[in-house]
Structure 1
Amino acid sequence: MRPAYRHAFLLVLASALLLQSCTRIGLAYRHLDRLIPWSVSDYLDMTPEQRSAFDSQLREQLSWHCRTQLPGYLAWMDKVHAMVAERRVSEPELRARLAEAKQAVATVAEEITPSTVEMLRGLNDEQVEELATSFADDRRERREKYLDVPLQEQIDERAERMRKRLETWMGRLSEAQRQRVRLWSSSLGEQNQAWLENRARWQDELLIALEQRHSAEFAGRIKVLLQQRETLWTESYRQAFAATEQAGIDLFVDLMATASDTQRATLLKRGAALREDFAGIKCQD
């Protein structure tokens, strides 16, 4: 799960990339990564029997996702297209699209919870220990990448990542737009710290739940981890999330207000092409 600053931009322009999971099993784990913030399957080795059962259940869920959720996603993309084409990009419009995208994710999280409970309940003690070790390695690696660098370097790298994402959709940014991106990144400050602390808390809660995976309360604890993640957020992350979401919305509103005709046309063209790809997806029974 990436830092909160991505939500406003990516959910408005690219949250429908979740639909790529409908096309092949290889992308399914990326889909689940957005619902299970640090996918268990990436951190431990499954037995052949576990992998077979997991993949079988996953195929069923992806088929459900494609058949029942895809039409709504296409309609959502149409709203985004109209919003940009009609120059109606504003905070209320963006928040409406953001709320719809969050609801779509919540719907899928609810669908996958029962099978996730069964998959986690089937882990053996060695796998739980492996998971704990992998989580510790994950924290160390991410701390080295995102925190063990000077704050100004964190800000510069964040701005550069966002510039590249924006230019993928809009084409080359003007110098004024690049400066706006730099100001946005600077305003987020030490956001990486809150993000990593919150990530560690979720991992710890999962490990605690797994110690009681054969109890009657286990399913309820996993439901909270998947469907009510906000209730487990640290206070610093809760504040950072709200601030960074607002900063992202403000950034996109400003960029659209200064977008050239060419940039707007590029954005609409790429969005239309993406929608066409999704509309052509054939759902598997």
Structure 2
Amino acid sequence: MDAPTPGTRRARWIVGLVLLTFLAGCSQTRLAYRYADWGVVWWVEDYISLTGEQEAQLSQDLEALRQWHCSAELPRYQQWMAVLKSDLEEGTPSEATVLFHQEQLMDFLPELLERATPVAINLLSSLSDEQVAQLADNMADKQQELEQEMLEGTPAQTAQARSERTIERIERWLGDLNQQQRAIVENWSANRGRQTEIWLTGRRNWQLALLDTLERRRQSGFAEQVNELLVHSERARGAEYQAMLADSRVAMAGLMHDLLQAGDTRHQDHLLARASELKGDFAALTCS
């Protein structure tokens, strides 16, 4: 699948760090967890110039959220990784097992979003008209850049580019793919149809909904509207996006199962090593 939107990252900063940075193969998990400013600051500062007061409030909110996440959620991640590692040690998991672990991973998301939403509300409610305009301009520029990068060329070229991105991500976990595995990814990507286009459209829909909500940031009901955008972001992205997301989750589980079946012991060993490394990182993290 394609990357999450920058707007989503504002609320999904923990997921972005724990489930994307970690799963992308970060070899400095503990360092990233403690000192990466929790994924929010870099996004906000890329899109909006904050005042000193806003930065101070954001840092305070993030530290409180980090402490909760470290003490309450990391043990759940560690337990999930232990079960995953045990299943991998038994051999190539079934497609149902892969889908189960994928859903387990996604189950971490709702409470994270609920807990992170007040951080977003505090920041967004403090934005000036100038900052909102800056946010709108920067999001539009990034959206145009992504559309040009990801949709230029023929549908076949779009599918090939998606295949290359997918292979790059998967090889971080399985090591170099063999020819059969590469063919599986290419076939999977070709069957994704308009997935990239739908993702980009959903991204734009969400950003427009956010900007519309920001126009009412001084009115009652603003917090509830932000909560809806962040906790149930797929609704703002549209029905076509929701259908694509449901389909792609199942398709991704099938892809991972097929890749493991087409691999050999070195792929299994590589995956187990990565899982062991990540499990060790979770175990070593502290809340200090």
User: How many equivalent residue pairs?
Assistant: 271
Following the alignment from structure 2 to structure 1, what is the Cα–Cα distance between the partners of residues 199 and 105? 21
Q: 2:94 aligns with which of 80, 90, 105?
A: 90
**2:10 corresponding residue in structure 1:** none
**1:22 corresponding residue in structure 2:** 33
- Kindly provide the amino acid, as one letter, of the partner of residue 149 in structure 2: K
Following the alignment from structure 2 to structure 1, what is the Cα–Cα distance between the partners of residues 115 and 19? 22
Following the alignment from structure 1 to structure 2, what is the Cα–Cα distance between the partners of residues 111 and 187? 37
Q: Is the 8 A contact 2:199 2:241 kept in 1?
A: yes
Q: Is 2:7 the partner of 1:2?
A: no
Following the alignment from structure 2 to structure 1, what is the Cα–Cα distance between the partners of residues 200 and 35? 30
Q: Is the 8 A contact 1:3 1:192 kept in 2?
A: no
* Regions of 4+ moved over 6 Å: none
Partner SS, residue 188 of structure 1: coil
Partner SS, residue 138 of structure 1: helix
- Kindly provide the amino acid, as one letter, of the partner of residue 182 in structure 1: E
**1:210 corresponding residue in structure 2:** 214
In the superposition, relative to structure 1, how do residues 14 and 175 fare at CA in structure 2: closer, same or farther (>3 Å)? farther
Pairwise CA RMSD: 2.4
- Kindly provide the amino acid, as one letter, of the partner of residue 162 in structure 1: T
Q: Report the identity percentage.
A: 29
- Kindly provide the amino acid, as one letter, of the partner of residue 101 in structure 1: L
Following the alignment from structure 1 to structure 2, what is the Cα–Cα distance between the partners of residues 124 and 141? 26
1:40 to partner: Cα distance? 4.4
Partner SS, residue 146 of structure 1: helix
Partner SS, residue 271 of structure 1: helix
Following the alignment from structure 2 to structure 1, what is the Cα–Cα distance between the partners of residues 176 and 39? 32
- Gapped regions of structure 2 (runs ≥ 5): 5-14, 24-28
**1:36 corresponding residue in structure 2:** none
Partner SS, residue 93 of structure 2: coil
Q: Is 2:92 the partner of 1:81?
A: no
CA distances 1:152-185 after superposition (whole Å, capped 9, x unpaired) = 2221121112222222222222211111111011
Following the alignment from structure 1 to structure 2, what is the Cα–Cα distance between the partners of residues 177 and 81? 22
- Gapped regions of structure 1 (runs ≥ 5): 5-9, 34-38
Deviates more, 1:195-204 or 1:79-88: 79-88
TM-score, length basis structure 1: 0.87
**1:158 corresponding residue in structure 2:** 162
**1:195 corresponding residue in structure 2:** 199
Q: Is the 8 A contact 1:22 1:283 kept in 2?
A: no
TM-score, length basis structure 2: 0.86
Q: 2:152 aligns with which of 144, 148, 162?
A: 148
1:251 to partner: Cα distance? 0.8
Q: Is the 8 A contact 1:90 1:253 kept in 2?
A: yes
Q: Is 2:268 the partner of 1:264?
A: yes
Deviates more, 1:166-175 or 1:13-22: 13-22
Following the alignment from structure 1 to structure 2, what is the Cα–Cα distance between the partners of residues 267 and 199? 32
Following the alignment from structure 1 to structure 2, what is the Cα–Cα distance between the partners of residues 250 and 155? 18
